[in-house]
């Protein structure tokens, strides 16, 4: 292979893609870092929010309402 320019171009493109993906991932990880007060607020919201038990209760209520509607028709 006498002409090595295509090989250098391909290597440069692959290296550029790797560097850009690494920078993007590291920037996204940095922006997702929360401070301690933000983390405490998030955990409080999560504890007050929708849990699997609450979701199961809501689903069973909806199923009973659907059954009642189907029976009334």
Tell me what pLDDT residue 12 has.
93
What is the value of pTM for the model shown? 0.41
Phi, psi (5° rounding) for residue 41? Answer: -60, -45
The residue range of the domain holding 49 is: 5-72
* Ordered per-residue pLDDT tens for the chain, 73 residues: 567 788 889 999 999 999 999 888 888 777 778 788 888 888 887 777 767 777 888 899 999 999 999 988 7
Q: What is the total count of domains within the chain?
A: 1
CA dihedral 53, 56, 60, 62 (to 10 degrees): 110
Distance CA 50, CA 61 (A): 15
């Amino acid at each position: 292979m006498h002409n090595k320019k295509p090989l250098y171009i391909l290597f440069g493109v692959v290296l550029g893609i790797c560097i850009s993906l690494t920078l993007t991932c590291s920037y996204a990880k940095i922006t997702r870092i929360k401070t301690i007060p933000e983390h405490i607020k998030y955990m409080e919201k999560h504890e007050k929010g929708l849990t699997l038990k609450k979701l199961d209760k809501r689903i069973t209520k909806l199923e009973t309402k659907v059954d009642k509607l189907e029976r009334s028709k």
